Amino acid sequence: MDQNKAPLYEAMEKYRNDRIVRFDVPGHKGGRGNKELTEFLGEKCLKADVNSMKPLDNLNHPVSVIKDAQHLAAEAFGAHRCFFIVNGTTAAVQAMIMSAVKAGEKILLPRNVHISAINALILSGAVPVYIDPGIDKRLGIALGMSITDIKREMENHPDAKAILINNPTYYGICSDLKEIVELAHSRNMLVLVDEAHGTHFYFGDNMPVSAMAAGADMASVSMHKTGGSLTQSSLLLCGKNVNHDYVRQIISLTQTTSASYLLLVSLDLARKNLSLHGKDIFNKANELAEYARKEINSLGGYYAFSRELINHENVHGFDTTKLSINTSEIGLAGIEVYDILRDEYGIQVEFGDLCNILAIISAGDRAMETERLISALYEIKRLYARDPKNMFCLNYIKPDVVLTPQKAFFGNKKFMPINKSKGMVSGEFVMAYPPGIPILTPGERITDEIIDYIAYAKEKGSQLMGTQDIKLENILVLNEKTELNLNEHFTGI
């Protein structure tokens, strides 16, 4: 196929030039009905915000230009089939899981998954078999999954239908995808990859292996994160051994029937751009990240980690475009540095946790702005550094799983002060966003460590969410009677 083409974009341009009279939705009628919005976004943008129609195809049943655009994307990413997703990579992750496992069926996955994966378990009723990732205690981060641990759980759960892998993690950590795929396929298991942060793996040089190149069955790819499309636009890639028609039906369970053509066209154009220029784009991004990493490490007190973490066990590769920076040696939590950068220096990084910050380096970054980040970090160390002896560095707590997420989420629950909830089973989520990895999920036992972690994270300024109580002073826990009744029907994890 001709990667110079952008069929959906070209159809949209023709539609705009045809000056069609609008008696359909949306109600702003090309921007005429909302002048302030039109002034904010621009007339061309509002005129491209349209509803599904024959000339522009329909995302839920593509037969023309969307179908062609998806085929071009599949070819560009080395997939057998590609689906455009406009409900974010959350919807792509959920579609993968719900396509692979049904109620009562087991799926292997690391516990440091994005909340979208746990939500898929609540929706589907599938049973999680958690594999603990490795932990780097100095950095306070979860690593990848080791082959030894995966083999053990595959042997302990020979009836598992699928395995989900984070690759890369938010911090840039990669597992041994090729070996995992071989192991899983030898046991007739599907391999699903949450590749939200790995768009560039398909186009850059000397990158970790991509999911499709490793032979995975499905991969969710956040094109908007590093691929240049609009926020909320994503891809679901499928291999040749997947029933694509069934996957399309599963997608339609959660994806909107009113797909945004702004998002769809952005996927079409981002794919074209990456196909034609991706290698140069990501080589430059990588050079910029490596320069920043070297300069930041020379400041002292910070640790911008990289490939030196590779141990071929739970760290098989590293994404060097992820500028992950540990801040614990200057006595500041990552979230504190995150806040100072934004409030005092006008610099917005991707996130800060209790020990690290992450700066995403991609196509739109420039050397001048990278120098601003380096200079700001130097100033923050000089002005704000303190004794690091009381730092709490950990972003992963091994869960005590009592019930499946679905049974706990829909169980009979009651409110309880979180500082008095030790020993109870959580009926809801607690997570910091970003990165959106749950500290606590429905069905897990609440421990002193979790309570202390939540209190410390709140004190440092982390944005905690997931609970009905928006102040996170109370938490929904399962009634003891409900827990007993549910356990009677639970075969164990």
DSSP state of 174: E
| Euclidean distance between CA atoms 366 and 345, whole angstroms | 17
This prediction has a pTM of 0.94
Would you say domain 278-390 falls under CATH 3.40.50.2000?
A: no
Q: Where are the domains of the chain?
A: 7-276, 278-390, 405-487
Residues 6+ apart with CB under 8 A from 293: 304, 306, 320, 323
Task: Give the model's pLDDT for residue 134.
Answer: 87
Return per-residue pLDDT of the chain as tens, 493 residues: 899 999 999 999 999 888 888 999 999 999 999 999 999 999 999 999 999 999 999 999 999 999 999 999 999 999 999 999 999 999 999 999 999 999 999 999 999 999 999 999 999 999 999 998 989 989 999 999 999 999 999 999 999 999 999 999 999 999 999 999 999 999 999 999 999 999 999 999 999 999 999 999 999 999 999 999 999 999 999 999 999 999 999 999 999 999 999 999 999 999 999 999 999 999 999 999 999 999 999 999 999 999 999 999 999 999 999 999 999 999 999 999 999 999 999 999 999 999 999 999 998 899 999 999 999 999 999 999 999 988 877 767 888 999 999 999 999 999 999 999 999 999 999 998 778 889 999 999 999 999 998 998 888 888 899 999 999 999 999 997 655 554 544 444 4
SS3 category, 491: coil
Helix H or strand E segment including 257: none
Helix H or strand E segment including 51: none
DSSP state of 138: T
Tokens for 204, please give them: 């850059």
User: How many residues appear in the chain?
Assistant: 493
The CATH class, in words, for 405-487 is: alpha beta
Task: Give the model's pLDDT for residue 212.
Answer: 98
CATH node for 7-276: 3.40.640.10
SS3 category, 145: coil
Q: Please count the other Cβ atoms lying within 10 Å of the Cβ belonging to residue 186.
A: 9
Single-letter amino acid, residue 480 = E
Contact 192, 229 (CB under 8 A): no
Task: Give the model's pLDDT for residue 488.
Answer: 47
- Phi/psi at 237 (nearest 5 deg)? -100, 140
Task: Give the model's pLDDT for residue 95.
Answer: 98
Task: Give the model's pLDDT for residue 486.
Answer: 45
| Euclidean distance between CA atoms 274 and 280, whole angstroms | 9
Average pLDDT of the residues of the chain: 94
Contact 446, 475 (CB under 8 A): yes
Encode pLDDT of 200-220 as tens digits: 999 999 999 999 999 999 999
Q: Please count the other Cβ atoms lying within 10 Å of the Cβ belonging to residue 40.
A: 10
Task: Give the model's pLDDT for residue 397.
Answer: 84
